[in-house]
Structure 1
Amino acid sequence: MIRGIYSTAAGMNLQMLRLDTTSNNLANISVPGYKKDKVLAVPFPSLIQLSTRQDGPLPGMSGRSVLGESNQGVAVQQVVKDFTAGTIRETGTPTDFALKGDGFFTVVDPNDESKIYYTRNGNFKLDQEGYLVTGEGYRVMGEGGPIQINSIDKMSVDELGAITENGQVIDNFSIATFSDRSKLDRVGGNLYQANDIEPAIDVNPGLVQRSLESANVDPVQETVDMVTAARAYETGQKIIQAQDSMLGMAISKVGVVK
């Protein structure tokens, strides 16, 4: 009975994490380029149930027979990022960019350029010095360093990331790609770090100017997942209450001599 409480509690912990993850996905549904999280679960190892020790046919021989197996609940394996591409929508803003490929924009902290991050959010703007920056103020990197624009009205960018101003190519976007994107560490709502993996240059990033990539979050599916997790959690609560009631009855009544 105690084992049943533990197994149910493990399932409730899983549903709580699913609720938190789904809520976070829905909260970031309007963030361009956001990639949703998913919870992966694995079952606990099953236990083989044996009968009580029985006498064998000959003196000194005894053993147990296998009655079956019992599952010990579930455990969270890991929370993974889903890098499925979102829908590209046109905005008309010249400092908005989207990527059709699997690459990431490279951005740096202006106060410490050794801090390099990667993002799919191409919702950029120009700061007072003319640098192309993210909403958090990180500078967008080109092949020649942080990208600096003199005149936004005379700037254009092609699919390969070449930045043209007044008819001359002034720089190229530094678009990074990774052999295993699952190893990227999320350090913010839409920023990633590559700690142990080396980025490569994406020579054909499929860059689209005046457009943004929408978050890959399906609000209907996320809502369904949230309701399912909430109901499963409530069911777990009721199961534990029932098990607690039976445990109390066993303690107070079983074995009472009348």
Structure 2
Amino acid sequence: MENPQFFKITLDADKGTALIQFDRPKKRNAFSQAMLTELVALLGALDALETVRAVVLTGGPDGHFCAGMDLNELVKISTADAYKISFLKDLTDAFANFSKPIIAAVVGFALGGGFEIALACDIIYAAEDAMLGLPEVKIGTIPGAGGTQRLAQALGKHKAMEFILTGDPASGSEFERLGVINKVFQQPEVVPAAIRLAERIAGLSGPVIKTAKQAVLTIENSSLDAGMTHEKSLYYSTFSLGDFQEGLTAFLQKRRPEFKHV
């Protein structure tokens, strides 16, 4: 894994976790195309790294999560350019194809593309006073990295429409009340709490966690009946795993399982 320019990476092989921190503080972690390219490459590298089984993505304990796309770059992209380069598709594909759990730890602003990145994660922890929103309509465009789809899935049509059509943000506490955010904390506790959760998840069977994530995500792209069928297929596939046998045996023997991630 090459040394990143716009991110700080902390690997804990013993715990099976990785911490990715946005590192463009002068721009409130607003992302440039170079930054997006780097994030896509990082996700690919971490997905291939066997010692990583859960990831935390954050802006750091004292800074903003991500203020969205750097508008100095966005203003230069035409419709034709956007089609030509499939703008943001590499980012959304990278999250869609990432097989391991990603936990967003949101402090400060998560606006526009920053909120979309958080929504693309599997679990969101946030500071009570974090501000999250999709303000794109206020600059004459709409969310383009999955925000309209994921927020509508999370909130339902009417509430999502209100946020997207007004561009108004809301606090971490409000989005927790609405069910978008899993848990809120005092600002200094957000990242440590997310890391503890990642460590808990990484301590379970890696293949089983991947399979469980895949099963849950099935509902995003299929009907309930198809999702149930696919879930059963995935469920049955775990039966041949050594970790499944170890998990059952450990439960019956009333001891802690020793997963080998196979």
TM-score bracket for this pair, using the shorter chain length: under 0.3
More helix by share: 2
Highest CA radius of gyration, 1 or 2? 1
More strand by share: 1
TM-score, length-scaled by structure 2: 0.23
